Amino acid sequence: MARDLRFFYLFRLLATSYLWVPIFVPFMFSRGLTFRDIMILGGIYSAVVIIVEVPTGAFADRIGRRTSMMLGALIMAGSCLIAYQATTFSEFLVSEAMAAVSMSLCSGADSAYLFDLLAENGVAHEYGRRESTASAWHQAGSAIAFAGGGLLAEIDLALPYLVTAGVALCALAAAFTLGDDRSRLAAPAPLRISLVLEWRSWASHMKGAMGDVMRNGRLAWIIGYSAVVFVLLRATIYLYQPYLNARSFSYSEIGFVFAAVYLTASFVAHRGHMLRQRFGDEPLLWTLLGGLAISFVLLEEMGGPFVLALLAVQAVANGLYSPLVKPLLNKEITDSSRRATVLSVESIFRRGAMGLFAPIAGFYGASSAMTLCGIIGLVGLVILAAFAIRRPAAWRGAPTID
């Protein structure tokens, strides 16, 4: 198990180390796209995720989580190579669609692989701590990549895409070295079966996962919470660049700001399990969302060092999000044979929320989108609180620390 854990952490480090993140907005500007075009692409990305998320989750459950992770890394390399030479909206659309498929193949599959690896070795209770460590590796990898991407952009705005393709291939190699997980699956897919019968089998699998969500109120509430927080955290990727650029930050400086944000997130993620034990899940859930919402509202009003302080608040929320939400989700999933599929259902809801937000933000423009995020956070906080108050007292008080 120790060997598989090491390579799993390495995969988390590499798989989302996208060097282009701090500069993709000015890069697309340089290729003739507008901010509205970029946000429409963000909406299309989310739409593609919604279309493929559950099928790719079923793929991971039936064919193997490791196989799904490997394929996701390979497709991301292809996406970056297309973006590297793209000059039209349609070319960027193809790149975004491939990136969405890549993310869907890895999302849920990696967490399911980790959970079942621990369960097979009789230490499933360690999942919360291990997920915190994996999230820290992910955030650290992102920080290094963002700093490097900003520096490379000073030479050529396209270079971060080319280097990211190479990093994605390294992630594929890391996944390849993991132990084959197909023997852990309750119902591995037969090698030969007609396409019609296979689709019916997958459709039944998806229907069962949706039923799991609908029957579990706590699970449905956590998915709704995850959707609101995800929109706010994902929006920062689009909004930080024009926000900082308007304040005369260079590409390398923007890269270092992104790196600092994600290093802070890595520090928090590594201590996510400890924070859950010390403060409890419920206080952290409300503090995370409330802090995010208020920080967005204040970013439009503040300047100077206050900006960095507010970015630090969002960095803490970013680091805590996955170690807090993923263990809560996994605790509510009782059928492990559908675990990756249920996690994919959660991804559909949060990506759907982002798909609705992105075109609206593009219409309002980058200058107003910060305030829009603050409003969404506050409204989401009120709605979630209303549902939480109405839920059974036993459910509210249920222990959730693992």
What CATH number is given to the structural domain containing 130?
Answer: 1.20.1250.20
Q: How many domains does the chain have?
A: 1
With respect to residue 401, please indicate whether it lies within any of the assigned structural domains: no
Task: Return the beta strands (E) in 221-375 as ranges.
Answer: none
With respect to residue 398, please indicate whether it lies within any of the assigned structural domains: no
With respect to residue 282, please indicate whether it lies within any of the assigned structural domains: yes
User: 248: phi > 0 → left, psi -120 to 50 → alpha, else beta; which?
Assistant: left
With respect to residue 369, please indicate whether it lies within any of the assigned structural domains: yes
| Percent of the chain predicted with pLDDT > 90 | 46
Task: Choose among 346, 220, 328, 237: nearest CA to 284.
Answer: 328
192-240 pLDDT tens trace: 444 455 556 667 766 777 787 877 878 889 999 999 999 999 999 999 9
With respect to residue 28, please indicate whether it lies within any of the assigned structural domains: yes
Cα–Cα distance, 270 to 121 (Å, whole number): 22
pTM above 0.85, yes or no: no
Q: What is the mean pLDDT of residues 150-171?
A: 96
89-124 pLDDT tens trace: 999 999 999 999 999 898 778 888 888 888 888 888
Cα 342–164–12 angle (5° rounding)?
40
* Domain span holding position 277: 2-187+199-391
Query: Among all chains, which residue has been given the structure tokens 């959707």?
Result: 227
373-388 pLDDT tens trace: 999 999 999 999 998 8
Residue type, 389: I
pLDDT of 367 reads 72
Task: Choose among 378, 290, 359, 344: nearest CA to 112.
Answer: 344
With respect to residue 218, please indicate whether it lies within any of the assigned structural domains: yes
Residue 204, Cβ neighbours under 10 Å: how many?
11
With respect to residue 192, please indicate whether it lies within any of the assigned structural domains: no
pLDDT: which is higher, 305 or 134: 134
Radius of gyration from C-alpha coordinates of the chain: 20
Task: Choose among 92, 103, 104, 118: nearest CA to 38.
Answer: 92
Cα–Cα distance, 11 to 30 (Å, whole number): 32
With respect to residue 397, please indicate whether it lies within any of the assigned structural domains: no
Residue 388, Cβ neighbours under 10 Å: how many?
15
- State both tokens at 318: 């970013």
